[in-house]
Amino acid sequence: MKNQFHLVATFLVCLLFASFGYSQVSPELIKQKKAELLKQRESMTREQINEIYAQQNITRRPVMPKVSKELLSTESTIAKPMNKSARALTSIPEDAIFPIESDEVQAILMTWMYDTRTVNGNQTASQTFEGKGTEGYYSYNLVDVYSVPDVATNSDYAKLFAELANGIQKHTQVWINVWSAEDSTTIKEFMEQRGTPLTNYRFFVHPGNQFWFRDFGPMAFYYGDNDDLAFLDLEYYPGRPLDDALPILIAEDLDIPVYYSTIEYEGGNILLDGLGTLVTTSALYGNNEDEYGQAFLSPNSYYGWNYSSKTPLTQSQVDDSLRNILNLSNLIVFPKLDYDGGTGHIDLYCDMWEETGFVVSQYPESMSNFSDAQKVASNLDSLKNTIDYFGNKYFASRIPLPAKNNGTFYSSDQEYNDSYTRAFSNHTFVNDGIIQPVFYDSTATTADKKGDVAGNLAALEIMKQAYPGYTFEEVDVRKFDAYGGAIHCITKQIPAENPVRIYHQPIRYINMSETPMQNATLNILSQNKSGIAGVKVFYRHSNETNFSEAECVSLGDNMYSVDIPLQENATKDTIYYYISSTSNNGKTITKPMTAPEGYYTLVYGTEITGVVQEDVYGNGSTTWLGLQENSQSLLNGISEVYPNPAQNEIKVTLPQLKQDLYYRVMNLKGQVVMQNKIGKNETELQMNVSSLKSGNYWIYFTDGNLSAVRKLVIAK
């Protein structure tokens, strides 16, 4: 049935092209042209190949025609295979969970670099609609075009995409969308010739515009009691209608539901923690305040195509829509950067590797007075004073900014924007691996082509500390300089089937002078559709080589607790630990996923008052990571909930507090349904729970470092 649908859709599109007077090119001619171009590219020099791409509109944010408002149209769209709203659902499930990018994945989506030419004249072009495009940056008249994947042995771009695909397949299946079926054979032969054959892959066949898969690709989420997988399709940049249609087409290939929203939003500006928090920038507001919708074929317009009109949205309308479609309990919006290649996306300087921690680029001292450096510093200060899912202040590590090829830094924001936009944080998690952008090639023959070898190697050592246990698959991305993106921007995670979730509040430090204790107690929420057979914590002290094993005690309803023994009277000690959870259907997941090579770090002792990170540029200064200096925890004095079961009101008696507490009411999947702060002078928590549905919940209390949980049952 699906194949029949695509045949009918293809026939209708061809019929519409013909009825509108658009010329038709025979498949035989296109096949001949593609063969000739592939052969021609093999004899081209690197410089000639670079010049070809310099003439195409391949930047992350496309150049839009200067179309007057009067030319905006409400005509039916035929640029997409079918009307999006007619093919997708619009009401997002209430229990939708959008996983964090570092969770387990079954695949990574990408496409390939394409060289597009005009059929008549063989001039450089960009594909706008299938087989139709425009020449160069500022020509808007439609002409017949054809495209070939870049597999030239002399092409640095071909090398980049080949290394990307090979790096991904080492850790999961790589899904590659090609623009025509025969391109899959071309790419497989190229990978074979390079000595890195595709062995763990799947191809999809749909025409496209560009390779920025992060921004236009599907947002995958779980829903329902069985954690079924579905896609969310957001509106992409106007001018790239084929890319905009891909989430729906791939969902159809996978036979999974797809939901649609008219919010214009790119994936590179989305950081989700899997628990209902979104971190983004104000660029999303600008994208939704104009009247330009997606491009479509239009025989009555001046160029033969046009933009549909859309209703501008206010900031509050965008916020409300995002809270609804992403099922958010917390929305964090930072001011966008102005010199990042034009996108304003958060992935150019910030990354979330766990639900309580970020990694943020640190600018060198020579750039500290730059506009964007000051914005990043301000945003980081705000982040470190923002409360996370558990009620802590967010933890933040720093990594350096990549330098120029000669190891020096940028003279101005404008130089960085126009010629570089480099970032180490723009990478992709792939289970226990990270596909890491680098800006050097130690095997090159000239200094410029080698790049800043020493600076890159030093940065990688720092990143190994920020991302414990991960295997870094390096890809030299200098061909993307000034495009406004790198590896993260051209890939998209597809979450794993049958997820085993593990959520916990890492204990970063314990001041034993202020909070004497024999054990550090971890409260862990773990969930799977089949139920959890058991949860374990593996730990070792700094003077030990092997991990000890501790079985967690089940508190019921997906919550587990374990005590890690501390050494009495220690002045300074470190514990390394990780969590392992096994489902009833036999699947085991660790947290971090890189365990036992990767682990959480807990420092404690009578002389421990916090956690610091050495300055990444080695000048000896330190940076506080936003933790409270003392933990005056009296959490064990919190009473049980009463009445319990409850219908409308509950009470919890509190001990004499020395600092504020935060609480979150969580369902059994870890989603926050209520949250607030308790002042340090309060002796009782009174809560109206009449809005909660019947079922079991957990109230998670934290003083910013340590935690306690109490069970809540709602029976109506």
For 206-246, strand residue ranges (E) read 219-223, 228-235
Residues forming a β-bridge with 205? 178
Q: What pLDDT score does 325 carry? A: 93
Which amino acid appears at position 458 of this protein?
A: A
Q: pTM of the predicted model, to two decimals?
A: 0.90
Supply φ then ψ for residue 715, to 5 degrees: -130, 115
Alpha carbons 268 and 284: distance in angstroms, whole number = 11
Alpha carbons 230 and 689: distance in angstroms, whole number = 31
Q: What pLDDT score does 634 carry? A: 56
Measured in Å, how far apart are the chain's first and last C-alpha atoms? 46
Among the listed residues 551, 102, 576, 547, the one whose alpha carbon sits nearest the alpha carbon of residue 356: 102
Among the listed residues 524, 539, 613, 623, the one whose alpha carbon sits nearest the alpha carbon of residue 578: 539
527 contacts: CB under 8 Å, gap ≥ 6: 500, 501, 558, 668, 669, 670
Q: What pLDDT score does 78 carry? A: 40
Q: What pLDDT score does 635 carry? A: 64
Alpha carbons 292 and 288: distance in angstroms, whole number = 9
Q: What pLDDT score does 7 carry? A: 38
Query: Which of the 8 DSSP states describes residue 268?
Result: G
Q: What is the pLDDT of residues 301-321, one digit of tens each?
A: 777 888 888 889 999 999 999
With b meaning 16 or more CB within 10 Å and e meaning fewer, what string describes 332-367? bbbebbebbbbbbbbbbbbbbbbbbbbbbbbbbeeb
| CA-CA-CA-CA torsion sign (368, 370, 371, 372) | negative
Q: What is the pLDDT of residues 52-103, one digit of tens each?
A: 888 887 887 766 555 544 445 555 444 444 466 666 677 899 899 999 999 9
Among the listed residues 58, 356, 92, the one whose alpha carbon sits nearest the alpha carbon of residue 219: 92
What domains can be seen in the chain, in order of their start residue? 2-60+93-495 (3.75.10.10), 501-624 (2.60.40.10), 635-714 (2.60.40.3080)
For 252-387, strand residue ranges (E) read 258-264, 271-272, 277-281, 292-297, 305-309, 330-334, 350-354, 357-362
Task: Dig out the tokens for 51 from the structure.
Answer: 């010049």
Among the listed residues 528, 436, 397, the one whose alpha carbon sits nearest the alpha carbon of residue 164: 436
Task: Dig out the tokens for 515 from the structure.
Answer: 């909070």
Which amino acid appears at position 332 of this protein?
A: I
Which amino acid appears at position 670 of this protein?
A: G
Residues forming a β-bridge with 520? 564
Residues forming a β-bridge with 581? 535, 589
If you search the block for the tokens 């600018």, which residue do you land on?
363
Q: Residues, the chain, total?
A: 716
Q: What is the pLDDT of residues 453-485, one digit of tens each?
A: 999 999 999 999 899 999 999 999 999 999 999
Mean pLDDT for each 10-residue chunk of the chain (716 residues)?
Answer: 38 40 79 96 92 82 57 46 62 92 97 96 91 81 94 96 98 98 98 98 97 96 96 91 94 94 94 94 94 82 80 94 93 95 94 91 94 94 87 88 97 95 97 98 91 95 92 97 94 98 90 82 94 97 94 94 90 94 98 96 85 65 37 67 92 82 88 87 89 91 81 91
If you search the block for the tokens 């000048």, which residue do you land on?
619
Q: What is the pLDDT of residues 344-375, one digit of tens each?
A: 999 999 999 899 989 999 999 999 999 999 99
